[in-house]
Structure 1
Amino acid sequence: MTNNQAKKLYQTGIELLSCGKSNEAINYFREAVEADPFCVDAQLELGYILGLMENYEEALNSFNKAIIIEKTFPALFSKGICLFFLEEYEKSFEAFMEAQEIGENEDMWYYMGSIYLIHYGNCEGAINCFQNAISIDEDFIEAWNDLGVAYSILNDDENALMCFEESLNIDPEYKESIYNIGATLADMERYEESLKYLDQTLESDSDHFKALFYKGNVLYFMGKEEKAVEYFIMALNVDKSQEELWNYLGYIQYSLGQNHEAIESLNEAIKLNGEFETAYINLGNVYLDLGKNNHALDCFKRVLEISPDNEEALKFIEFGESQSTDCEGSNEN
């Protein structure tokens, strides 16, 4: 085929695409690049459709071929997007930086901010990128939300709350920000307000793990321990692999006098994380309450193996070793 034939195939693909016939269009774009591998427009369109179909490896191949023909912002930016979704964050960042030498858009800044947040843990860098995205598009709801997340990680709750509220000004039903406002208000100890947003999240998604977990915490701090236990158990029915949640549940069960249930919960936390210092301390205190001092001693010794300077464990070890525990066996069944 000639270059003109490749262009005709490309044009037919564009017409089909405009009619919403993506599956048919992709065949014409494939034929166009087979006829003329240097048809950059067809390479780009093929990459775009493959990306929308989440076929990122093949899409990346098309964008790389387009870049060989000509380094353009769309090709480099799209390469960065593919690499982002393939979780090759460093290569993705490099592609975005190269694209930035040619141009920029709000999406590029957003994804660069996400890489800073997800991969590098650099909240300041993420904040700068999200702010750049918003400066280009002030209604970029995802950028507002993720900007709030970055502020939350930095414990800047006031700015985080402002960002999440900006998201809801754009879309009052935006689920991510509804939950994030609830969590942020809880962190700010504004518990009654927090429940409004957490409940709104659970109304739309009753299995929202984080909302269940946070609501349990809020109820505990409001002095509603039994209700807190209910929500922690509901959260565990969604995801049993969270050692922090097992630890919280065990601690509250202990505070309610449910010592045997607390032991089960705290042991689950320790199974998930054998270095979980706080869970060992809580378990040691439960055993003390039951009069099982030798078991408690074992827990506090384990704490000192993990953290030799732990004051609570040191005090108990010092006290326990000065006491006789010969009569303890009669308390254990």
Structure 2
Amino acid sequence: MTVSPFSWRATRFQLCKTPECERHSEHGHQIVLSVNTIKTLICKYISRKEVKMDFRSQLRKSVLTVAVLWAFLLSSLPVSGQVVLPGNIAGRSGKWVVAGGSKKSSAVSRRTSKAKRTRKQRSSTRRQVVRRSQSVAKKNRNRRDINEVTPEEYRRLEAQINRMSPEEASKVFAGAGEYFVVRDEIDEAVRFLEQSVELDGNNKDARLALSEVYTTLGDRALVKADEYAELAAKAVAANDSANETRNSALANTEIEKAEKYYTAGVQNDPSNPSAYVGLGQFYDARDDDSKAKTNYEKALSLDDSLTEVKGPLGIIYYQESLEEGVTSEQADELQNKAEQLIADAVATDPENAESQFFLGLIRYKQGDNENALGALRRSLDIDSENPETHYYLGATYNRLGGDDNVEKAIGEFEKAVALDQRFFQAWFDLGVVYYNKGEFEKAIAAFEKSIEFNADQTAEQKRVKSESYANAAEAYRQANKIDLAISRYRIAVTRIKDDPELFTTYGFAHAERDNWVPAIQAFQTASGLAPDSATATTNLGWAHYKAAESYERRNMKSDMDASLRQADSLLEKAVAQYESVGGSDQNKAAANLYLGVVRNKLGDYSGAEEALEKANALSNERWAAAVVELGISELNLKKFGDAIKHFKQAQDIQPGFPEAMYYHGLAEYKRGDEKEARKIQARLQGIDQRLAQQLERDFFRVDFN
């Protein structure tokens, strides 16, 4: 009698009280013997009469089986690398854990887009820069030599102006303008100073004063633009499109005015640092970082006391470090410049939320978690409404790790998306944190939001959206929502075509549904992407074995045989790959175990024994199932003593292991120790009645062989 351990189809014997003797079951050939037939056979056996040849032929052809689910392997086998456990791939043991790939990576660590600067923080920075710029402008008044002309003096001189030379008249107008400049009456000042320069374009002092006035007018226009922008933002919040449009247009008009004033300021005084600061702010507002940087740097070269300018200039350097095409060396250099400038700005004004935020970003990039936390928290103390600050604070907590920090990270990510629901990177990283915590339903919701709000236009957006599909698919799979997982995998694999892990988990999902053709296709792609990966080869080989089981259940013998041969070839290759390129002993053990299972199924018991001995020798854990499988090979080779030793060993590893007891009893009976076999059967009766009854029938079969 041949012993086939883990077959899902089998020939079984059972008593039947009906006249029918034989019938065919969809799960296998099932010979049903009537009570009269059994009595006849027993009588013939006792009287030593020969049993009919056709019945004995059926007995020889039958294969002893026990419907042993592979689920117990999951609790006894280790999870290492990406090797699929037998029970897992059939979907009979819940979810897979794919070590080395189960933890998802955040988007923040690979973010290439520029950090968003909020309108509120830009406006605050701009006001601080304006104040500093105007202070410097007042200090620089000593560069010009103008005698103030009071309104009374001007009225006295006004009648004489027509008789003065242009140069003399220009000085009178310059003096009158200077009087109003000093008193911050800019509208009056500009009228007199423009007249002065018109009369004498070489009046340097008048030009210096006019440059200051134009710069002040530019500053006022920028501040006014911020006020209109604030009104436009409020209109957006109130769904008031008319006021949004009107105020946005007014803001743009003021910004354009500012450019004209600052440009005129530079034309009248190419050494006016405040005018360059103004132009820098204009281009900054237009997100023209290159021109903004040029003007900020010019301003600092003219007056290095303009420390408030260092903040926005440092921000530009930081953003530039993220641009496409920038090498790692260039990025490091730019970030070093940014760090120095922003640190100086923070030292000058620690209450600037934007400078604190970008200092926190730089510290995060440097891996300086504690100082990153300090700067980001300080920024939020000043302005708690910047979603980017919450996002990076969450990222810092997440990187620190530990349950408390992970919970803080979740809180910050949730605040980020509450402030900006379209913040797809924050949704993505929130999903990553939930996934890595094992909270798959929450992870699914976050990944789906990331997909929904991702415009899918830039390279970064495309990458994050692709990963969102892949991560959502895996979260659905872990949540045992297999059909939804497959639907997301189908999209993910069209967008990500070079990730063997993605195709491996896609194969797992199809395996959960016993869809072995697409599962094998996915594993085949994974193996093709990683041809030297023994784990990929192992997965593919085991999938062919499970496909063979599927074919067997459907009585497709030729397909079953072909799949078994393919499984044998692939698993043999996997074992050879491990021996050639190395790998953990646990992975090597698993590959040998699967090879042994396949060879037992093929009837190559010597080959199975060799593979299973290696599996048990390599494993640093005691695998009860692997030991039983080895015993089965030995039982079929009639090595009863070795088989019994291994069945006992399996019971020592896992007390009350019913399959080990079943085979132990069968081995004792075949060896001739019926007394011991009956004792084992009696113990098995209290653990698994079905197997105990099967063992009784198999004792009968042994007697007739």
What is the TM-score when the length of structure 2 is the normalising length? 0.40
Report the alpha carbon displacement of residue 78 of structure 1 after superposing the two structures with TM.
0.4
Query: Aligned pair in 2 of structure 1 residues 176, 237: CA closer, same or farther (>3 Å)?
Result: same
- Could you tell me which residue of structure 2 aligns to residue 296 of structure 1? 612
- Which moved further from structure 2: 51-60 or 237-246? 237-246
- Could you tell me which residue of structure 1 aligns to residue 409 of structure 2? 126
Query: Aligned pair in 2 of structure 1 residues 239, 294: CA closer, same or farther (>3 Å)?
Result: closer
Residue pairs, 1:129-278, within 5 angstroms: 129-171=412-454, 174-207=465-498, 209-238=500-529, 245=536, 247-255=538-546, 256-257=563-564, 258-265=567-574, 268=577, 274-275=583-584, 277-278=586-587
Residue 68 of structure 2 corresponds to residue 68 of structure 1: no
RMSD value over aligned CA atoms? Answer: 3.5
Report the alpha carbon displacement of residue 280 of structure 1 after superposing the two structures with TM.
1.8
More helix by share: 1
Partners of 2:502 and 2:345 in 1: CA distance: 44
Native 8 Å contact 1:139 1:170 kept in 2: yes
Report the alpha carbon displacement of residue 47 of structure 1 after superposing the two structures with TM.
1.6
- Could you tell me which residue of structure 2 aligns to residue 44 of structure 1? 311
Report the alpha carbon displacement of residue 7 of structure 1 after superposing the two structures with TM.
2.9
Native 8 Å contact 1:254 1:262 kept in 2: no
* 1:223-250 Cα deviation digits (max 9, x unpaired): 2334323223323444568776455334
Partners of 1:323 and 1:187 in 2: CA distance: 41
Native 8 Å contact 1:47 1:62 kept in 2: yes
Native 8 Å contact 1:300 1:316 kept in 2: no
What is the TM-score when the length of structure 1 is the normalising length? 0.79
Report the alpha carbon displacement of residue 216 of structure 1 after superposing the two structures with TM.
1.5
Query: Aligned pair in 2 of structure 1 residues 216, 316: CA closer, same or farther (>3 Å)?
Result: closer
- Could you tell me which residue of structure 1 aligns to residue 377 of structure 2? 97
Residue 375 of structure 2 corresponds to residue 78 of structure 1: no
Native 8 Å contact 1:246 1:266 kept in 2: no
Partners of 2:382 and 2:344 in 1: CA distance: 18
Residue of structure 2 aligned with 1:114, choices 380, 395, 405: 395
* 1:39-97 Cα deviation digits (max 9, x unpaired): 23321222221122223332222211212222132112101212333444444233323
* 1:105-133 Cα deviation digits (max 9, x unpaired): 21121112223334425432321221222
Partners of 2:533 and 2:387 in 1: CA distance: 36
Residue of structure 2 aligned with 1:11, choices 249, 274, 278: 278
Native 8 Å contact 2:585 2:618 kept in 1: no
Partners of 2:530 and 2:311 in 1: CA distance: 41
Query: Aligned pair in 2 of structure 1 residues 204, 36: CA closer, same or farther (>3 Å)?
Result: same
Query: Aligned pair in 2 of structure 1 residues 285, 87: CA closer, same or farther (>3 Å)?
Result: same
* 1:7-30 Cα deviation digits (max 9, x unpaired): 333223233445554333323323
Native 8 Å contact 1:179 1:198 kept in 2: yes
Partners of 1:203 and 1:163 in 2: CA distance: 22
Percent of pairs with identical residues: 16
Partner SS, residue 485 of structure 2: helix
Query: Aligned pair in 2 of structure 1 residues 95, 245: CA closer, same or farther (>3 Å)?
Result: farther
Runs of 5+ in structure 1 lacking a partner?
A: 325-333
Report the alpha carbon displacement of residue 32 of structure 1 after superposing the two structures with TM.
3.0
Query: Aligned pair in 2 of structure 1 residues 232, 169: CA closer, same or farther (>3 Å)?
Result: same
Query: Aligned pair in 2 of structure 1 residues 36, 108: CA closer, same or farther (>3 Å)?
Result: same
Partners of 1:241 and 1:65 in 2: CA distance: 52
Residue pairs, 1:12-27, within 5 angstroms: 12-18=279-285, 21-27=288-294
Partners of 1:242 and 1:115 in 2: CA distance: 34
Partners of 1:34 and 1:117 in 2: CA distance: 41
Query: Aligned pair in 2 of structure 1 residues 85, 248: CA closer, same or farther (>3 Å)?
Result: farther
Query: Aligned pair in 2 of structure 1 residues 285, 210: CA closer, same or farther (>3 Å)?
Result: closer
Partners of 2:628 and 2:300 in 1: CA distance: 74
Query: Aligned pair in 2 of structure 1 residues 273, 254: CA closer, same or farther (>3 Å)?
Result: farther
* 1:242-263 Cα deviation digits (max 9, x unpaired): 7764553343245442223223
* 1:289-320 Cα deviation digits (max 9, x unpaired): 2534345323322212xx3x544456678998
- Structure with bigger gyration radius: 2
Residue of structure 1 aligned with 2:320, choices 39, 53, 57: 53
The number of residues matched between the two structures is 320
- Which moved further from structure 2: 37-46 or 268-277? 268-277
